[in-house]
Amino acid sequence: MIDLLLDFVKAFVVGGAICTIAQLLINYTKITSGKILVYFLLAGIFLQAVGVYQYIVDFAGAGATVPISGFGYLLAEGAIKGAKNGLFGAFTGGLVSASAGVTAAIVFGYINALIFKSKSKKN
């Protein structure tokens, strides 16, 4: 029971730290949210390429894999594993490893579009 609670705390702290960094960038810089997302995605790819992000995932679990940097980690991990099968595997490996998450996002987005009516944001 204590181990499970400790896993939750580690995930909360690491995931919260990632989100805090993003919020500080939003609040104190003029970087747009889209660019911040891309930077975090690329940071996840870079940190996995140099072998650091795997240690963060092993420590924090979902706290490191749920944010967008975790998606970059997943793409890089798939590309690294796919590279063992050649150049084509390196290009397709990231898509293979992320296909379940991308499919779920598309399916649930479609279901939500069928259920809810979209509205434009009023300024």
Evaluate if residue 121 carries a pLDDT over 80: no
State the pLDDT at residue 26: 92
Q: What is the pTM of this model?
A: 0.79
Q: How far is CA 75 from CA 25, 80, 118, 122, in A?
A: 24, 9, 31, 37
pLDDT band per the 50, 70, 90 thresholds, residue 88:
confident
State the pLDDT at residue 1: 86
pLDDT digits 0-9 by tens, 3-51: 999 999 999 999 999 999 999 999 999 999 899 999 999 999 999 999 9
- Per-residue tokens: 123: 């300024």
